[in-house]
Copies of this chain bind each other. A is one copy, B any other.
Amino acid sequence: MAAALTLTRDTVRAEWVDYNGHLRDAYYLLLFSYAVDALMDHLGLDEAERALSQRSIYTLEVHLNYLRELKLGTELRVDVQLLAHDSKRLQVYLTLHRGEELEAAAASEQMLLHVDTEQGCAAPFSAALLARVEALAVAHADLPKPAYAGRQIGLPVQRGVMAA
Contact = CB atoms under 8 A, between A and B. Distances in A.
A24 B27 CA distance: 12
How many copies altogether? Answer: 2
A106 to B, nearest CB: 10
Contact of A66 (B19, B60, B69): B60
A65 B110 CA distance: 10
B65 A64 contact: no
Interface of A: 19-20, 24-27, 29-30, 32-33, 47, 58-66, 69, 84-86, 89, 91, 109-111, 117, 120, 149-156, 158
Contacts of A59: 25, 66
A58 B66 contact: yes
Given A26-B29, A91-B155, A111-B153, A64 B66 contact: no
A62 to B, nearest CB: 4
8 contacts: A29-B29, A29-B62, A61-B63, A61-B65, A63-B63, A84-B155, A86-B156, A109-B153
B62 A63 contact: yes
Contacts of A111: 153, 155
Nearest to A64: B62
A125 B53 CA distance: 53
A61 B153 contact: yes
A156 B88 CA distance: 13
**What are the 7 tightest A-B residue pairs by CB atom distance, in nearest-first order?**
A26-B30, A26-B29, A25-B59, A26-B33, A62-B64, A29-B29, A84-B155
A77 to B, nearest CB: 17
